[in-house]
Amino acid sequence: MKTIDLPASWKAELAGELEQPYFQRLARFLEEERKAHRVFPAEEDVFAAFRLTPYERVRVLLLGQDPYHDEGQAHGLCFSVRPGVPPPPSLANMYKEALVDVPGFTIPGHGCLTAWASQGVLLLNTVLTVRAHTPNSHKNQGWETFTDAVIRKVNDRPDGVVFVLWGGHAQKKAKLIDARRHTIIKAAHPSPLSARSGFFGSKPYSSINAALRARGAEEIDWRLPEVG
């Protein structure tokens, strides 16, 4: 990584991580990977979630796992794809659940979730990069340590945050969260392999808004506008 494109609020919180030996090793690994392979997302999009959702605006943290690994998909937000790219199966299932859980929701003609991010939903993957067409190829290179630090920093916020943990991988991170101060919402992953085993019918969007209302916070408008 030639540049660490974190906005000021996140850089202030995570500056100590950027100086750690593990992060320096990760940066060198990524430089070599980009020389030898295609890596997603593009370098300028690796920290897109942080740019769109500054630290002081985080109200919801939705945790994903690995970036999409096919052409044109990943752009730095978990579950989201660029406009013009068909929604992958997990996101399509998220839309199906929103149809029955969000009043007025209509499935948009795109899979871009920036409208959620701009309202304070941090769309965080536990690993922020991947080699093209090779899922989990950047696992255990240091990203997990960094994103654990992100979760801890959000946990440190004095006002309550809603943490959304779908699937076993995400739910392992519950140990980093103080459930006395924050709300943790768990369900099966929206993947086609597990959506019918506890994601469909879990009503995550209305549950998130109920938790926000209980804290006197503004709800998320889950409806997605069409994008050009």
Marked catalytic residue, from 5, 45, 66, 221: 66
- Chain centroid to Cα 24, Å, comes to 23
Contacts of 67 (CB under 8 A, 6+ apart): 40, 41, 73, 74, 76, 78, 125, 127, 128, 129, 130
Contacts of 82 (CB under 8 A, 6+ apart): 72, 73, 75, 111, 112
Structure tokens at 88: 């992958």
Q: Is 66 a catalytic residue?
A: yes
204 closest CA partner among 177, 165, 171: 165
Instruction: Return the active site residues.
Output: 66
